[in-house]
Amino acid sequence: EIVLTQSPGTLSLSPGERATLSCRASQSVSSSYLAWYQHKPGQGPRLLIYGASSRATGIPDRFGGGGSGTDFTLTISRLEPEDFAVYYCQQFGSSSYTFGQGTKLEIK
Amino acid sequence: EVQLLESGGDLVQPGGSLRLSCAASGFTFSSYAMSWVRQAPGKGLEWVSAISGNGGTTYYADSVRGRITISRDNSRNTLYVQMNNVRAEDTAVYYCAKIPRWGYGMDVWGQGTTVTVSS
């Protein structure tokens, strides 16, 4: 099973700043099968990025994804107040999905 | 509007059984694979199971294989998960999600239904 490790565990930033979140896989992941989600309390998760770098429908262009192989990143170029949440990466491989443990993005 | 609505969450005793449902609307249900994902209290997201559009292919996480069965009724636009021999570690909010294409993320999610396993 591929293990996804996200860092940092918590990221404290201010609105307007740039956020960079990391997702490292225990073995190579197909870029096509790497996704990122935003999750807020009391809501279902929201798909942000699929295929490592493609924005999902309705996602603002301040969200960007990149990377390949075992190292992937989610970048939020200028934080808005509504962006403070928990973010998860997810991969699909060997007939199963796995999630990273999450990065909490909090207001500094 | 594309929507998923979970139901069936409850308090259940260890060793008991429970069936969760997910009613879909706003899209051609039978055309899409579907999945269950859960979140235990204070923990992150954990993938549980997935099923193809026609129900012919199913996948399970190792942590639930043999105790959970995913199924769907395309005539009722409804996804199910049957949980047997539940354990305390099955306590979680259970979400259903739509898979637009295998591996390309999950693009629609419900609000979740809560399962509590306790005596």
Q: How confident is the model at residue B38 (pLDDT cuts 50, 70, 90)?
A: very high
Q: Per the CB < 8 Å rule, is B59 touching A30?
A: no
Residues sharing a CB contact under 8 Å with residue A54, sequence separation 6 or more, in sequence order:
A65
Q: How many CB pairs under 8 A join A and B?
A: 68
Judge whether A26 is closer than 8 Å to chain B, CB to CB: no
A88-98 confidence digits (pLDDT tens): 999 998 899 99
Q: Per the CB < 8 Å rule, is A98 touching B47?
A: yes
Distances (CA, A) of B87 to A16, A97, B13, B46, B119: 44, 22, 8, 16, 10
Q: Per the CB < 8 Å rule, is A102 touching B44?
A: yes
Distance CA A108, CA B16 (A): 45
Task: Give chain A positions within 8 Å (CB) of B61.
Answer: 96
CB B20 within 8 A of CB B8: yes
C-alpha dihedral, B72 to B74 to B76 to B81, nearest 10°: 10
Structure tokens at B73: 């009724």
String of DSSP letters for A63-80: EEEEEEEEEEEEEESS--
Mutate to test the interface with A, among B22, B99, B104, B114 (most CBs of A within 10 A): B104
Q: Per the CB < 8 Å rule, is A33 touching B62?
A: no
CB B47 within 8 A of CB A96: yes
Whole-number pLDDT of residue B72 = 98
Judge whether A101 is closer than 8 Å to chain B, CB to CB: yes
CB B2 within 8 A of CB B97: no
Return the residue of B nearest to A41 by Cα: B111
Closest CA to B64 of B44, B43, B50: B50
Is the confidence at residue B89, as pLDDT, over 90? yes
Q: How confident is the model at residue B105 (pLDDT cuts 50, 70, 90)?
A: very high
- In this complex, the residue of A45, A51, A93 whose CB is nearest that of residue B45 is A45
Is the confidence at residue A31, as pLDDT, over 90? no
